[in-house]
A and B are shown apart, each in its own frame.
Chain A
Amino acid sequence: MKAITTTLFLLLSIITLAQSPYEKAMTKALEQMHENPQAAAQQFERISKAEKDNWIPAYYAALSNINSSWGQYPKEQTLATMEKAQEFIDIAQSLSPKNAEIMVLQGLLNTCWITYDGSIYGMKLSGPTTALYEKAYAMAPDNPRVVSNRAQWLMGSARYFNKDVSPYCSDLDKAVALFEQEKTSGFEPQWGLEGTLKAQQDCK
């Protein structure tokens, strides 16, 4: 009995030992996302290349690149970053098809393209983006990121047509409540509360 326990303990510790580099690397990358998005993107890229069956590192690699694509960098760099983000969205999607979290990323990346050149991509991507958010919403109506980003996208369209944005405010309230209840395990996506609170200020 003792031998079995020891064996199990040792096996477990070896497994833990084997797992920890992933956890360590992911934790470090997540910490870097705010202060050094570029370093974070690279770390996620490395992990994604090593973890060939796991959609989560690719997801974060895409997200970090999207965060660098809102027009704060020169055009050429933005273009390359957006292409990189798309590459990782495609990887994540092939590993986890029909994932509402990844659809949200695609919606955000489409918005980056529209910001990049509205006169070309506004026409091309606004319809598809709305359709994408609706699809994600139908699949995961209780995912706070789906609820919040869909509402923020619709508010953006409404603002463009000089329409009232208040119909979407209740969605933002709902999203905040969902964020507070959200229980995620491991490295599953859990961002978005901050942006939602900021978007809520338009409702006041």
Chain B
Amino acid sequence: MKTLLYLLLLVVSICTAQTTISGTITDQTGLPIPGVNVYLEGTYDGAMTDVDGNFKFNSEESGIVILVASYIGFEPYRKESDIAALENLDIKLRESMNELNTVVLSAGSFSAGDNSKVNALKPLDVVTTAGAAGDFIGALQTLPGTTANPDDGRLFVRGGTADETQIFVDGNRVFSPYLPTTGNIPTRGRFSPFLFDGITFSTGGYSAEYGDALSSVLLLNTTDFPVEEKTEIQLMTVGVGAGHTEIWDDNSVSVNATYINLAPYNEVVPQNNQFIDPYQGASGEAVYRHKTSKGLFKAYGAFSYSDFSLNQEDINVADGFFFGLRNRNYYGNLNYSGELSESWDLQTGISLSQDHTDLDIARTSVDNAETAVHAKLKLSKRYSNYFKIHFGAEQFYIDSQEKVRFQDEPFKTNITQNNTGIYAETEVFASKDLAFKIGGRADYYDNTQSVELSPRLSAAVSLSNSTQLSAAYGVFNQQVDNAILQYDPLLETETAQHFILNFLHKKNNRMLRAEAYYKQYDNLLTFDDAMPGFDTNYTNTGDGYATGLDLFWRDEQSIKNLEYWVSYSYLDTQRLYRNFPESATPAFATDHNLSIVTKYWVDNLQSQLGFTYNYASGRPFTNANESGFLNDQTTSFQSLDFNWAYLIDDQKILYLSVSNVLGRDNVFGYQYSSTPDAQGQFDRRTIGQAADRFIFVGFFWTIGGIDNQLDNL
């Protein structure tokens, strides 16, 4: 009884022993911060600072306590102290860094996706840009830094060939990202744009994480764990498709399949090529995802098959010649990303790709097979918001075989590569207005037993809340194309140095981006034959440069329901490479490129109408009737594309797109006769559009009751 009373007294006495805690909270510049939450950790004792940054509260705690001051937008403050010493404190809070107030290392990069300051495109733009017809590669071609080559369809960045851009899915390299095609029929990306929710397109100066790419990298991140089960059906003028997503516990599976056949379309809409078997393709994809307590595992697999044949026109062959193509492609990757601890992140993956192409060209048959593996491990350590380190290692195995049969004479070549890369990079924020990224990578190339080092640097500084300046420098190496390497495995890597200066202004949903760059190419491959073969002499003595200015303006504020962007690129480039007799501007590089993309939402029609206008100045070509190399220019390329997406309801969408609405007869180049006529002139054939227009109508229907077709708009 006595003990209890004593206990009670003790409780009461503790209750009455009050200490006052007080002080002032200011930011780094000495301005008071009102509204800060100040409290003793593990207790309810605390207060909020007033307009002058002052706080005062009482506590019944005693001894050593932890004082916490936390406020949105600032780094939390913690102080361990004897409670008696917590009076008249003077606390300074450091502003924390978030997406809106922090400088971004943006030189070279465009991204589409989350809420980042440097976003040029939104995820939706990828599928709703007129002219892109649902191909994300097509949408990226409306960004500055790219050169329009609508007869090819791949990405040509800043005077680089399409092979100088590498594409990655969830960090793993994709070895054959494009559907196979033949000259003058544009290709498309192999993947469905609906698979990705983050796209970063870097036109130069990218992170040391990525190697073996001279000009550009395109990073695609697949969507994370789905939250809804659904079934989708697609009916299109060119084929059909279906998909389904199933979720159970911490697992989900999404599958989809598409069949495309252009025969009926070609019957209705005349083509400029004489198809024998019109294009047909079947593809299927499956993604399995499993959530673990600290991460996400993804397994992705895709299969595609395509074939077509046509009678290819040729100025030197009166009736043209037969061209047939059959391709099978398997691609799969396994990926895991997760937290190892509060500050350590791990990302690892392996991709396997098998590509098989059979070509029949006149009386020659070519059988091409490539097996490639890419394994990668990446670790990130976050010391604070101000200092981070990333490092990793990757291994490539590429085996490529070519069997050629010419008039029953078989001929076989093979090249195997085993290359290793390691990299490390640190991100340092001196403040929220000044940031640096310093890193480098080392690549070991097995065939030449050589190591190539590639340093990378970038820096960014805020000029004001809405403007920033950034710069990047880097050395980039890339191995010579397999088709050449199989004849000479000892060829060195080609190199490029990038120098980039970037200005970014973003305010009120308007964005202006200007970027100037200089790119120096060295060690470019050269050879002395019209067609590379075994007897050809190869060297790494070519070089070149590309310099220019890219401008981008996006505005979604000025006119209600209208979003538009304008991209302009000026490019000055010359190179001595392959079998060029002298330094010259290659045929794929045009001086001026302009894209204007508009999207207008019509409320009472539940429709989005879009127009895209593309302009590219004339392309260089060699006029055989004049002396010199790449001595002439075609007329400019121009195209006006239209699309209309109509939301019938939240589950059905009707989509119409027409490319080259005005039917302009664009010229991409000329093929000259190999022999002159009686007057000594060389006759020529125009290489023009595959079709004057392309018309696409699709109906997309999502079944499942709880899904929303907004996903697909």
Contacts of B41 in A (CB 8 A): 49-50
Q: Does B7 sit at the interface, judged by CB under 8 A? A: yes
Interface mask (B22-60 → A, CB under 8 Å = 1, otherwise 0): 000000000000010101011111101000000000000
Q: Which residues of the other chain, B, contact A157 by a CB distance below 8 angstroms?
A: 650, 708
Is B115 close to A, CB under 8 A? Answer: yes
Q: Does A42 contact B (CB under 8 A)?
A: yes
Query: Is there a chain B Cβ closer than 8 Å to A98's Cβ?
Result: no
> Cβ of B451 < 8 Å from any Cβ of A?
no
B337 to A: closest C-beta gap in Å: 18
Contacting residue for B48 out of A24, A42, A49, CB 8 A: A42
Tell me the B70-96 residues at the A interface (CB within 8 Å): 70, 72-73
| Residues A119 and B42 in contact in the complex (CB < 8 Å), given A42-B37, A130-B708, A162-B606 | no
B8 interface contact, C-beta 8 A: yes
Interface segment out of the listed A6-14, A166-174, A185-193: A6-14
Instruction: Please state if A14 and B98 are interface contacts (CB–CB under 8 Å).
Output: no
Chain A residue, CB-CB nearest to B226: A128
Contact between chains at A49 and B42 (CB < 8 Å): yes
B417 within 8 A of A: no
Whether B675 sits at the interface, judged by CB under 8 Å, is no
Q: Which residues of A contact B708 (CB under 8 A)?
A: 126-127, 130, 157
Complex Cα distance A76/B98, Å?
9
User: A interface, how many residues as a size bin?
Assistant: 35 or more
Are A79 and B115 neighbours in the complex by a CB distance under 8 Å? yes
Answer whether A80 and B72 are a contact pair too, CB < 8 Å, given A45-B37, A46-B46. yes
Would A80 and B73 be within 8 Å (CB), given that A14-B7, A119-B124 are in contact?
A: yes
Partner of B711, one of A7, A123, A161, A162: A123
B44 engages A161 (CB within 8 Å): no
Q: A7-B4, A75-B100, A131-B227 are in contact. Are A161 and B650 (CB under 8 A)?
A: yes
Residues in A neighbouring B647, C-beta threshold 8 A:
161
A46 with B228: CB separation less than 8 A: no
Q: Tell me whether A132 is interfacial, beta carbon within 8 Å.
A: yes
Chain B residues within an 8 Å CB radius of A81: 72
B604 interface hit (Cβ, 8 Å): yes
Q: In the complex, what distance in Å separates the CA atom of A162 from the CA atom of B649?
A: 9
B710 near A77 with CB under 8 A, answer no
Question: Is A17 within 8 A of B11, CB to CB?
Answer: yes
CB-CB nearest in chain A for B38 = A42
A21 at the binding interface (Cβ < 8 Å) = yes
Check if B1 is an interface residue, CB within 8 A of chain A: yes
Contact B44 A50 (CB under 8 A): yes
Nearest-CB residue, chain B, relative to A158 = B650
Say which size band chain B's interface belongs to.
35 or more
Q: Which A residues touch B228, using CB under 8 A?
A: 127-128, 130-131
Is there contact, CB below 8 Å, between A79 and B99?
yes
Q: Dominant SS at the B interface?
A: loop
- Bound complex: CA A49 to CA B70 (Å): 12
Chain B: CB-nearest residue to A50: B42
Query: How far apart are the CA atoms of A46 and B43 in the complex, in Å?
Result: 7
A90 in the interface (beta carbon within 8 A): no
Is there contact, CB below 8 Å, between A119 and B122? Answer: yes
Whether the Cβ atoms of B707 and A130 lie closer than 8 Å is yes
CB distance from A100 to the nearest CB of B (A): 16
Closest to A74 in B: B100
Cβ of A134 under 8 Å from chain B: yes
Considering only residues 33-50 of chain A, those with a C-beta below 8 Å from chain B are 38-39, 42-43, 45-47, 49-50
Q: Which residues of B contact A75 (CB under 8 A)?
A: 100
Residue among B35, B70, B707, B708 with max Cβ neighbours from chain A (10 Å):
B708
B101, A76: Cβ atoms closer than 8 Å: yes
| Per-position binary interface string of chain B over residues 1-13, scored 1 when its CB falls under 8 Å from any chain A CB and 0 otherwise | 1001001100100
Q: Which of A7, A38, A49, A122 is the most central at the interface, judged by chain B CB atoms within 10 Å of its CB?
A: A49
A42 to B70 alpha-carbon distance, docked (Å): 9
CA distance A143 to B48 in the complex (A): 34
Q: Which residue of B lies closest to A17 (CB)?
A: B11
* Chain B residues, Cβ within 8 Å of A126: 708, 710-711
A121-178, CB < 8 A from B: 122-124, 126-128, 130-132, 134, 157, 161-163
Given known contacts A42-B48, A131-B227, A161 and B8 CB-to-CB distance under 8 angstroms: no
Is A117 interfacial (CB 8 A cutoff)? yes
Q: Is the CB of A76 within 8 A of B100?
A: yes
Judge whether A1 is part of the interface by a CB distance below 8 angstroms. no
**A39 vs B46: C-alpha distance when bound (angstroms):** 11
In contact, A127 and B73 (Cβ under 8 angstroms): no
The distance from the CB of B372 to the nearest CB of chain A, in whole angstroms, is: 33
Q: With A80-B72, A119-B556 known to touch, is A127 a contact of B707 (CB < 8 Å)?
A: yes
Contacts of B197 in A (CB 8 A): 124
CB of A22 within 8 A of CB of B44, answer yes
| A79 and B710 form a contact (CB under 8 A) | no
Judged by a CB distance under 8 angstroms, whether A197 is at the interface is: no
Q: Which residue numbers of A lie inside 8 Å of B, CB to CB? A: 3, 6-7, 10, 13-14, 17, 21-22, 24-25, 38-39, 42-43, 45-47, 49-50, 75-77, 79-81, 83-84, 117, 119-120, 122-124, 126-128, 130-132, 134, 157, 161-163
The 9 nearest A-B residue pairs measured at CB: A42-B37, A131-B228, A128-B227, A25-B44, A80-B72, A46-B39, A126-B708, A127-B708, A76-B100
**8 further A-B pairs in the complex, CB-CB below 8 A; given A42-B39, A49-B41, A128-B227:** A13-B8, A47-B44, A50-B42, A120-B114, A123-B710, A123-B711, A124-B197, A130-B706
CB<8 Å pairs between A and B, sample of 14: A13-B8, A17-B15, A38-B35, A42-B46, A43-B46, A46-B46, A47-B44, A76-B101, A80-B98, A120-B123, A123-B710, A126-B708, A127-B706, A127-B708
